[in-house]
Amino acid sequence: MEYRDYYKILGVPRDAADDVIKKAYRKLARKYHPDVSKEANAEEHFKKVQEAYEVLKDKKKRAAYDQLGSNWKSGQDFRPPPGWQGFAGFGDGFPGGTAEEFDFSDFFSSLFGQRTQGTRRRARPQQPMRGRDEHARIAISMEEAFHGGNQTISIQSQEGVHTLKITIPPGILSGQQLRLAKQGSHGMGGVAGDLYLEIDIKPHKIFTLDGKDVSIILPITPWEAALGAKVKAPTLAGPVELKIASNSQSGQKLRLKGRGFPGKPTAGDQYVTLQIHTPPAKTDSDRAFYEKMAKDMPFDPRMG
């Protein structure tokens, strides 16, 4: 059988760090993946890259492989040295079978497989494998969650950075997920997995979200509270007219039905908490006005 130089296959030095090996593997896996590559003999190259990474990413396998020394060259006729123990005793590290069943080379199996001398199991044909599902989180503004719309995002996966166009449905909430079919990891001869994006709604400077209900604190003047008024109240869909009853108090809560997040079967509501703001007494006439009001309208809010 032919010796395989796994370091040469990945294009890294023998003393390469783990992150260098991982980076080289990702680059070559993208280049030669059979589902996307246009390179000649892409599938064969991809299998060699997978095999090399399987050995070099594992500290025990790599240490066993390094025992062969650096004098071997790719393509040389190879037989394990007398007394070679390699990776024996640790198993193949493959779920459900040995290296042969995963279509790795005779060289790999001679080092890490479980054959005994003079025997050879017939390798089962490799079955198509669906790619893994991937999960990620994206943060969006409350307005984007309320209105929905299209966005372009960048996602980091094992195959690299992907730019995707997504559609956000109106009224999506934190913790809900968007499923992007076949945007996960590539499969081995099978379809790619799915990508699940979990939504995280960023805090807003004036709106607070509780389920589908929205809340705000609305500042009003003492005369608007005492006499009643019609004022503009902000909502995520735009300002609306709000009627304030006479003799309203700070902390009083008003409900705007259906002005919260859209949803089925019903939309959420918006709750407006009134907060009375008193104008400061900046001038002598301001102070005189407050003194007259205190005299003409005696009132002790702490009574009782």
Total of domains in the chain = 3
Verify that 97 and 146 share a domain, yes or no.
no
Beta carbons within 10 angstroms of residue 155's beta carbon = 18
| Burial (CB count within 10 angstroms: exposed 0-12, middle 13-18, buried 19+), residue 195 | buried
**Residue 259 belongs to domain spanning:** 208-296
Q: pLDDT tens digit string along 140-157?
A: 999 999 999 999 988 876
Closest CA to 236 of 167, 141, 151, 138: 141
Average pLDDT, stretch 251-273?
96
Average pLDDT, stretch 269-277?
98
3-class SS at 154? strand
Q: Which of 174, 201, 228 is the last residue of a domain?
A: 201
Verify that 152 and 245 share a domain, yes or no.
no
Determine the pLDDT at residue 184. 84
Beta carbons within 10 angstroms of residue 107's beta carbon = 17
Average pLDDT, stretch 267-287?
97
Q: pLDDT tens digit string along 243-260?
A: 999 999 999 999 999 999
Verify that 185 and 224 share a domain, yes or no.
no
Domain membership flag for residue 304: no
Verify that 151 and 220 share a domain, yes or no.
no
Name the pLDDT band for 65 (thresholds 50, 70, 90): confident
Q: Say yes or no to pLDDT of 87 above 60.
A: no
Task: Using DSSP bridges, classify how beta strands 213-220 and 270-276 pair: parallel, antiparallel or unpaired.
Answer: parallel
SS (H, E, C) 33-72: CCCCCCCCCHHHHHHHHHHHHHHHCCHHHHHHHHCCCCCC
